[in-house]
Structure 1
Amino acid sequence: MWDTRRWSGEGALAIRPLNPVTDQHLLVIPVRHVATAATDPHLTGRVASYAAALVADARWQANLIANVGPAASATVAHLHWHVVPRRPGDGLALPWT
């Protein structure tokens, strides 16, 4: 559906990850560096609203995921929401590796 999308205001963009786990998997990332979802709760909420808007616009069933810290599978120290569209029988077991 989208390869990229950009929001003004607090600034965020949606991009495809290098290794998507489902078709149309996206990352919604603030332009300003924020280490984790716990660093700036206000910005985290704003970026989550953009991720939710993508799901609503596309009418997907989806997982919205933000990982905080290595023990929670975070591998990149920058706030980002995974938008993972789901379909019955898609075979994706969470958490993924």
Structure 2
Amino acid sequence: MVASCVFCEIVTGRAPADIVREWGDVIAIRPLDPVTPGHVLVIPHTHVPDVGRDPGVSARTMACAAELAAELPAVNVITSKGHAATQTVAHLHLHIVPRTAGDNLPLPWTPQQHTAG
């Protein structure tokens, strides 16, 4: 655990969070600013800075995310590695973002991002 890491504080119970589901080594919480209804973050208890650092922890976290994704008809499962890829918290986490037709949530590679301007 890293004392200055907000996700480490959450998984150890030292910071509040709206917990959606817990596994022995991974937790799913609601983010402070969800981008769609049902958006959750899947976070390993082990402090791993990003998806590329520890393949075993990354795989376990993805397995838990897949359980949540399987319950939804349409979803984006997203993680980022590095500031240039929009990572803002240096603790591995996966976004489970439920999608519906017409939700107008643009992602960097969607046409909405390329037609503005």
The two structures share one fold, judged by TM-score above 0.5: yes
- Are 2:58 and 1:48 aligned? no
State the shift of 1:81 in Å. 0.4
| TM-score normalized by the length of structure 1 | 0.89
Unaligned runs of 5+ in 1: none
In 2: Cα distance, 1:29 partner to 1:46 partner: 10
State the shift of 1:42 in Å. 1.2
Correspondence for 1:92: 105
> Larger relative contact order (C-alpha < 8 A, sep ≥ 6)?
1
Give the letter for the 1:35 counterpart: P
Q: More strand per residue: 1 or 2?
A: 1
State the shift of 1:3 in Å. 4.7
**Alpha-carbon distance change, 91 to 3 in structure 1, aligned in 2, over 3 angstroms:** farther
In 2: Cα distance, 1:59 partner to 1:92 partner: 17
**How many residue pairs were aligned?**
91
Give the letter for the 1:6 counterpart: E
Superposition RMSD in Å: 1.3
Unaligned runs of 5+ in 2: 1-17, 109-117
| One of 12, 31, 46 as aligned partner of 1:32 | 46
Share of identical aligned residues, percent?
Answer: 48
